[in-house]
Structure 1
Amino acid sequence: MSVLQVTDLTCEYRKNPLGIGVRVPRFGWRLLSDSRGTVQKGYRIVVTGTDGDFGTPVWDSGYTESDASIQVEFVGTEPLHSCTPYLYKVKVWDAAGRESEWSETARFETTLLDPSEWQASWITPDAAGIDPQSEASFLLRKSFELKSGIASARIYATAAGLYELFANGRRVSDEVLSPGWTSYRYRLQYQTYDVTDLLRNGSNAIGIHLGDGWYRGGMGFESRDFKYGDRRAALLQLHVKYEDGTEEIIVSDESWKCDIGPVTYATIYHGEKYDARLEQDGWSESGFQDGSWTAAETLDLPMDILVPQENWPTRVTETIRPVSSFVTPAGDRVLDMGQNMVGRVRLNVSVPAGTKIVLRHAEVLDRDGNIYFGNLRPAKQTVEYTAKGEGTESYAPHFTFMGFRYVKVEGFPGGGTLPLDAFAGEVLHSDMEPTGSFETSDSRVNKLQSNIRWGQRGNFLDVPTDCPQRDERLGWTGDAQVFISTALFNYQGAPFFTKWLRDLKAEQHPNGGVPFVIPDVAGGDSSAAWGDAAVICPWTVYQYYGDRRLLAEQYGSMKAWVEYIRAQGTNEYLWNTGFHFGDWLGLDAKEDSYVGATPRELIATAYYAYSTRLLRQTAEVLGHSEDAAKYGELHERIVQAYREEFLTATGRVAAPTQTAHVLTLMFDLADESVRTRVAKDLNDLVVENGYHLTTGFVGTPYLCFTLSNHGYHHTAVRLLLQESYPGWLYSVSQGATTIWEHWDSLKPDGSFWSDDMNSFNHYAYGAIGDWMYRKVAGLDMDPSVPAFKRIHIEPLFGTKALTYAKASHLSPYGNIESGWRVDGDRISVNVTVPVNATAEVVLRGATVAGLKESGKLLAEGDGILAVTENEDGAVLSVGSGTYAFEYENADLFRAGYTENTVVSDILNDEAATDVLRKHLPHLFEGPMLKFLNTSSLKQVEENGMARVPAGAMDAVLADLAKL
């Protein structure tokens, strides 16, 4: 019996979500099938109440002929109610006429859909009893009575600050650092908790532990100390529904009682101090005596900014143990976690009362082996724990996080090395679902992929921060836009970026400008490539998830950004005015400058063209035909102005930098007639620099893409595998476990690039991961059909440096896989296409006649919809299923070197390069190679500068022929 099954039901990207805040939720599902080429023809969704009576549903779509299995909107005739759970199930039909069974029943629950439903008040300790400016945390509690027959109970809560929620002495949730960081002046998330199992008939109590967090702890760099408000506060509303149909609501108000908590100090940058002797056992239980506690007072904080939880919550996602403990030359006792991580250390100790244990967190050791704090700038990253001396005590910070690998421990009893079992590292970040994997035959590249993922985890803690350790940790827009595609390959990031983009829209200036950081605690003007996040990020989310709703929601913001650029200066088609970061940290920068050599106005105009093109495409998707035509014409004029301003009459890029060439090609700014020349010039710039890059934040993400897209994939791979500075594998060779801010953050001699701006966990250069997925493994999408509905598989494996690569991505439709291996004279390519999707597979060097799938001729297999052949190889259109293609190597890896081979082509092959070094070592001395790498071997021999010994070229050709 054939199998067609509906699985992985989601509502608003989540499985069984609690507390969704939209009146028209969207549903999605994945399909399983035992047949290739399965495509959904129709579906039926039924939504009902928790009584489970699907016979009288809230909504029954009936049979709907459609292949849509993502972003399917609720279209019931009756609106959904607030604070109400719903059940739903799905069945589908495929194009072969098969009908699935009903899926397992899933659920979703709405939250407060109307601000008027809030009855609670913002509360904080009465200023007459507790100093509002106290650095210590606050404890807030409320005792109350409930009758028997509790059917369900939900708490809706948030804070101006950070909070932990308790009911009858137990933590309500494993979420930490709630409610997260939003642009608090405009938006503040609240959370929904199911506390049914924590409450009982009779006496109950709720407790809130309240700290400063991002709200009041002081944010920003250069001692800006930005605060949203001067008093922290909490807001809570408990809804209890009884079996008899009645409901009771408990709210935060003046009846609550307050006291000082055991956290005596906590800020995001500096850490936390905790005195366990100040703990009050049972403080959140009903029988606790709170007669000496201070009354609460209400604060007039806004209610109209409250929004239901949008982002994935922050949680402890992994616990790691220190790998070693040692004493440094300076005499410090230090733990090595083995991984540069973001989170906190949990202590488990049994020590006398009053023992103070101090933990100072850092990322690296200096050249002498001592723990290094210099790159933290003013941030202290220090935790102090004072023990109460009662058995084994367990503690981890409540209202802060650190970026670290090493921990200096002071005050721990005993001497010598520290007991490893007393410490554990708890990794914190937004709890996104992992969706990507990448692997090659080179273990160094695999380590790079690991470093990219760890960098994303550490810096995706509720907002996409630049770094997690120093006095910054801000949502830099430039970093986010260059990395977002890599990020969405690795993790399910739709809710994460939806929340952040809503903050960006809220913070956008009236003139359309976009702050440097979101949430905006830094101020400043708008910069090209940074503000362009307003356009690039929503478009990228749409590409990965088909989220038209987010596009529509952000469309006004996208338009405002492009119109802001258009209004700058006197020429509406060039952006040559104002402040710009330029090619930030470009290695071709002048001495004592952070800005690369590429002209800022070139970068600004290039991004102006790119954002305008994406805006036109967005208008087309949303059906705004007039805007599509308007911005299409604007884009054409910007491109023409760019060519006139930044390209010479002969088609060269006027600025002789790698980044200028990269942007010109990547954003399609050069006329087709000169692109080949521009691409060759770019390749020459890389080769002449010894296969090293000189690009910064702007050029680096696109450098390898540009080379691969224009026939220089060998050069791109050489860049990937570059182990000397500057190169992606240099940091790997130096023991890095995350991505560095600078290519040489740690120099070979153990010294540092600088103290001022030297993060060892800075994800931006991890953007190379996007190219690794798409070009090396060949797993890509058809950009005209979002969400990987139409997949593009095209591995670029024509280099001996890698013998296999494979990648997977869990798309909205299901798992996609692309992997290849070269084994002698055979190439194998394995592809998995999820149900309800199709793929175009390009097999470089293959012929249709010589191609087999699963050991059979193509004509004998199923699922293959069409086959053609072109100069690149075989091109197949395939349906869902798993495929194993195999064909003859076809000289893709056999170079066939002759005397007419150009030296730069030989240098793309490591083994061939070794041959040149063996017989012609003087080519690699001084500037010689720079002048000769564009010459053929014959020209090298004829060139007097090369000084080729008699017979040397014959030996070169002989050895090359053996490869």
Structure 2
Amino acid sequence: MNFQPMAASDNLVSRDWTSDMIAPLSDRGQGTAASFVAKTFNCDCVETPAELFISALGLYRCFINGKRVGNDLLTPGWTSYDHRLAFQHYDVSDLVKPGQNRIEIWLADGWYRSPLMWGQKAIPNCWGDQTAAIADLVGPNGVIVSTDTTWQSGLLPIRKSGIYFGEIYDAREEKLADTHGTVRLPFDKALLVAHETAPVRELPPIAPIDSWTDAEGRTIYDFGQNIGGYVRYTVRGPAGAEIRVEHSEVLGPGRHFDNRNYRTAQAHTIYTLCGDGEQTYAPHFSFQGFRYARVTATGDARILAISSVPISSVPNLTGGFQSGNALVNRLVQNTIWSQRANFIEVPTDCPQRDERLGWTGDAQVFAATACWLTDSQAFFRKYLRDVMADQREDGAISHFSPDPTRLHPKNFPGFAGSTGWGDAIVVIPWVLYTHYDDRAVLCECLNAMVRWVDFVWSISDGPIVRPPSRWGDRGFTFGDWLQPIGDNRKPRPTVADDCAATLYHFISTDLLAKIAAILGNQALEARMKRRAAEIRQAFAHEFIAPSGRMAHNDQTSYALAFLYDLIPAAHHEAAKQHFRQVIIDADYKIGTGFIGTPALLPALTKLGMDDLAEKVFLQEEVPGWLYQVSKGATTIWERWDSMAPDGTIYEPDMNSYNHYAYGAVCQWLFESVAGISPSRSAPGFSEVIVDPAPIAALSPVTAYHDVRQGRIEAQWECRGNRVTYNVTLPEGCVGRFRPGRRHQNPLLNGEPVMGEAVLRAGTHELIFSLPHL
């Protein structure tokens, strides 16, 4: 049965609970066997609906009369647990029967008390050291049963589980025994809120495309796609036989199984058979990031069927892009798969190693792409509440949220306050406003935005931000993280921390002025406009030479400065030529990191340098988007040089092969190449800016995006320098097209275009010629 959670449909936010938060006395602490709490109860007659409201400290799964409630995964989800705890709401009318019933709630460590963070300083019991459950089973006439200290507890066949660890399961222990009681935990029920985003769900399973046996007799399966999820298999064998599954993202030279980049994450499952015919297993309370699985079978255990099962909070697509270039099409698919694998409750950096944290920098650069590809509104709204919960007293935003370091600063001091990362509190709400007309998120986050922008000003008490160089000091910045430098004997120029920090200081301040205007806060708007003007003037004085050359003469500086209009008009043409030369000198290879990459191609397109944009985007050497695709990547890499041309893994201590940040280029594919953008003046796609910037080598191109009004479609084909472009708008969307220099002799529906053209609902044909560059 497929029991759907009800909270999303009935808009339930909070409720009055009759139950207690109860902890199993069988629980032996973090890293030990998981426990359950259970209650047998009588129900004279079942009146519908029978509804279950449920949550837990740790992770839970619930069963009524032996049948699982719902199919949501990793419930109750991951939040800043000291700020709020999600609960779920299910219709269980088909599970409750007249007479005697039994309800069981399985509990595991989950994010609540699994060791989080990396290395020897990983933090166990971050939000608490006891797993517990709270539940109300309610009928039309009131509460049928609720958690209290009359419930019993015992141990589960899950002998150990953890987010990074994986799971050990002994099927010989599946007959549960009520061996202990329960105890009421002090708990503030006001922390309970209805699940704020879509539940984590399974996607269709993926069968292996290849398998082989290594020298030790272990079977390695290649599922052909890197995912966030788990391996499910059916096995037969005698009691006591064992299946061990290890995971990896890549193979080294010679098809060598290599998961050194998981660092201290054991990321494995061990299943002990009970000997009772065919048995099917997948982990209950953990997930891994992997493409390959290495299976060790002992005791005559035999795998009968096996698949990898992707999971995600955003399984359904709302956008797609196809071109005439197969590598580009695969790049888009890689971005989709990286988003799916990392949008599991929070936007994590990676799903495989001992990290899996909601890094704010990754999220803010990728937010717009995420909204193009999936409906990410509720997902980001929930995440922003975690970001605000973790905001420090001085206004600094955590490097990631939920933030394990906030409650344990001795382990990891100073994990807040980086420009480019903390700016997520301003950038992401703005993206939600433009994409979904979400004015409420601007209101909800406004105070946190102001505190953040004021914090950044306070770092150096002025418009130019001069961050300290030591990690953990107040105002430390990651700068343009993982910016490539080329040959280390003669490295290419890179942006300095002060320039990168000041660029983002302006971006957030200027955005906050716009947001204040939208919300009618005239005093804040005026203050932020004055401050943005001061930053603009100081930036030009500090970082732009009289010749128009940027101080560090690097791609990131030029891209961000041009994209956000920080180049004075007097220096515009000279700076543009310096920018062009920097790209040429790099042999059209990328010279940007986490904050510069999303700006690079949009800046080139804005400046009309389509020839450079094409060469940078389509070149297949490292560093470049298509290099990783040519090496067989099925998700986005963390580093441009994650793998050498000979297949050697680079820097396994910090190297993820499923890291969505550089997939932010897909925003450019939709907005520039496909030519459809949301309008700031009429957000939520009430108005669509139609402004195609075709890359002839990609012809033909098709794209779509599902919005609240319906589906927007764009397609074009280039013959020589002649482009035929078609756009389809649903009812409720108005398009606006204003010819630019790349639209020579434009004809809209057969008529010449003079000035701005307004496109109503329906399909429109635009024909124009590309200029000779």
Taking structure 2 as the reference length, the TM-score comes to: 0.94
Question: What secondary structure does 2:653 align onto?
Answer: coil
Map 1:346-745; keep pairs closer than 5 Å. Answer: 346-411=232-297, 422-522=305-405, 523=412, 524-572=415-463, 574-577=465-468, 578-588=475-485, 597-745=494-642
Q: CA deviation at 1:744?
A: 1.6
1:166 has 2:68 as partner: no
* C-alpha separation in 2, matches of 1:423 and 1:409: 10
Q: Residue 563 of structure 1 aligns to a residue in which SS? A: helix
Which residue of the other structure, out of 105, 109, 118, is the alignment partner of 1:212? 109
Match of residue 730, structure 2, among 791, 816, 834: 834
Q: 2:765 maps to which residue?
A: 884
Distance 1:301 1:822, change over 3 A: same
Q: CA deviation at 1:570?
A: 3.6
Aligned partner letter, 2:456? I
Question: Amino acid of the residue matched to residue 542 of structure 1?
Answer: Y
Deviations along 1:489-515, whole A, 9 cap, x unmatched?
000001100111001111100110011
Residue 841 of structure 1: how far off its partner (Å): 2.9
Do the aligned residues in 2 keep the contact of 1:575 with 1:608 (CA within 8 Å)? Answer: no
Give 1:413 shift.
6.8
CA separation of 1:112 and 1:721: change in aligned 2, threshold 3 A? closer
Q: Deviations over 1:683-723 (max 9, x none)?
A: 21111211101111111111001101001112112111111
SS at 1:163's partner residue? strand
Matched with 1:120 is 19
In the other structure, the counterpart of 2:716 is 820
Q: Which residue of 2 aligns with 1:262?
A: 157
- Measure, in 2, the Cα distance between the counterparts of 1:329 and 1:685: 50
One-letter identity of the residue aligned with 2:422: G
Greater C-alpha radius of gyration = 1
Structure 2: distance between partners of 1:879 and 1:845:
24
The whole-number CA distance in structure 1 between the counterparts of 2:765 and 2:487 is 52
SS at match of 1:145: strand
Q: CA deviation at 1:653?
A: 1.1
SS in 1 for 2:527: helix
Q: Report if aligned partners of 1:330, 1:370 keep a CA contact under 8 Å in 2.
A: no
Cα pair distance change 1:754/1:330, threshold 3 Å = farther
Cα deviation for residue 735 of structure 1 reads 0.5
2-structure distance, mates of 1:755, 1:485: 30
Change (3 A) 1:326 1:413: farther
Query: What's 1:298 paired with?
Result: 184
Instruction: Describe the SS at the equivalent of 2:201.
Output: strand
Q: Report if the CA contact (8 A) 1:576-1:605 is conserved.
A: no
Structure 2 portions without partners, runs of 5+: 406-411, 469-474
1:485 partner amino acid:
A
- Counterpart Cα distance in 1 of 2:559 and 2:745: 38
Q: Residues 443, 313 of structure 1: CA spacing in aligned structure 2 closer, same or farther, 3 A cutoff?
A: same
Match of 2:706 in 1: 810
Is the contact between residue 364 and residue 423 of structure 2 (CA under 8 Å) also seen in structure 1?
yes
Counterpart of 2:471 in structure 1 is none
Q: Are the aligned partners of 2:748 and 2:764 in contact in 1 as well (CA < 8 Å)? A: no
Report SS of the residue matched to 1:156: strand
The equivalent residue for 2:472 is none
Choose 231-240 or 328-337, whichever is displaced more.
328-337
Name the counterpart of 2:663: 766
The answer to whether residue 7 in structure 2 is matched with residue 19 in structure 1 is yes
Asked if structure 1 preserves the Cα contact closer than 8 Å seen for 2:746 and 2:753, the reply is no
| Contact 1:477–1:531 (8 Å) recurs in 2 | yes
Structure 2 distance, partners of 1:600, 1:110, is 45
Correspondences of 1:164-313 after superposition (within 5 Å) = 164-226=61-123, 227-241=126-140, 246-280=141-175, 292-313=178-199
Superposed displacement of residue 624, structure 1: 0.7
Structure 2 counterpart SS, 1:635 = helix
Alpha carbons 1:676, 1:710 under 8 Å: kept: no
Paired AA for residue 651 in structure 1: G
**Alignment identity in percent?**
36
Distance 1:564 1:188 in 2: 28
Which of 859, 863, 869 is 2:754 aligned to?
869
Partner of 2:409: none
1:460-494 deviation per Cα after TM superposition (whole angstroms, max 9, x unaligned): 11110001101000011100001111111000001
Tell me how far 1:368 sits from its aligned partner.
Answer: 2.1
- Displacement after TM superposition at 1:817 (Å): 1.0
Give the Cα–Cα distance (whole angstroms) in 2 for the partners of residues 595 and 206 of structure 1: 63
User: Which residue of 2 is the match for residue 88 of structure 1?
Assistant: none
Residues in 1 aligned to 2:526 and 2:757: alpha-carbon distance in whole angstroms: 34
SS of aligned partner of 1:801 = helix
Superposed CA RMSD = 2.3
Q: Indicate yes or no: 2:639 matched with 1:754.
A: no
1:827 Cα deviation from its structure 2 partner: 2.8
Pair 682,134 (structure 1): closer, same or farther in 2 beyond 3 Å: closer
Alpha-carbon displacement from aligned partner over 1:767-797 (angstroms, at most 9, x marks no partner): 1111111111112122222111100112112
Letter in structure 2 aligned against 1:818 = A
Give the equivalent residue in structure 1 for 2:408. Answer: none
Q: How far 1:432 moved relative to its partner?
A: 4.7
Change (3 A) 1:594 1:235: farther
TM-score (norm 1): 0.75
Pairwise mapping of residues 867-946 of structure 1 onto structure 2 (< 5 A)? 868-869=753-754, 875-885=756-766, 887=767, 890=769, 892=770, 895=772
Displacement of 1:299: 1.1
- Flag the 1:595–1:458 CA change in 2: closer, same or farther, 3 A: farther
Q: Would the aligned equivalents of 1:589 and 1:595 in 2 still touch at CA under 8 Å?
A: yes
Q: Which amino acid aligns with 2:133?
A: A
Provide the rounded CA distance (Å) in 1 between the counterparts of 2:533 and 2:352: 44
Please tell me whether the aligned partners of residues 135 and 264 of structure 1 are also in contact (alpha carbons under 8 angstroms).
yes
1:111 partnered with 2:12: yes
Q: Which moved more, 1:726-735 or 1:302-311?
A: 302-311
CA distance in 1, matches of 2:274, 2:402: 39
Corresponding residue SS for 1:151: coil
SS at match of 2:120: coil
Shift of 1:232: 0.8
Aligned residues: 754
* Cα distance change of structure 1 residues 330 and 707 upon mapping to structure 2, 3 Å threshold: farther
Counterpart code for 1:459? N
Instruction: Render the CA deviation track for 1:567-624: whole Å, top value 9, x for unaligned.
Output: 2224355455531111111112896999983110111111011100111111111111
Secondary structure of the residue aligned to 2:136 is strand
- What amino acid does structure 1 have at the position aligned with 2:438? D
Q: Which deviations, in whole Å up to 9, do the C-alpha atoms of 1:876-906 show, x marking residues without a partner?
A: 2111112234x3x64x27x4xxxxxxxxx6x
Could you tell me whether the CA contact under 8 Å between 2:248 and 2:292 is conserved in 1?
A: yes
Q: 3-state SS of the aligned residue for 1:406?
A: strand
Where does structure 1 lack aligned partners over 5 or more consecutive residues?
Answer: 1-15, 21-107, 284-289, 859-866, 896-904, 906-963
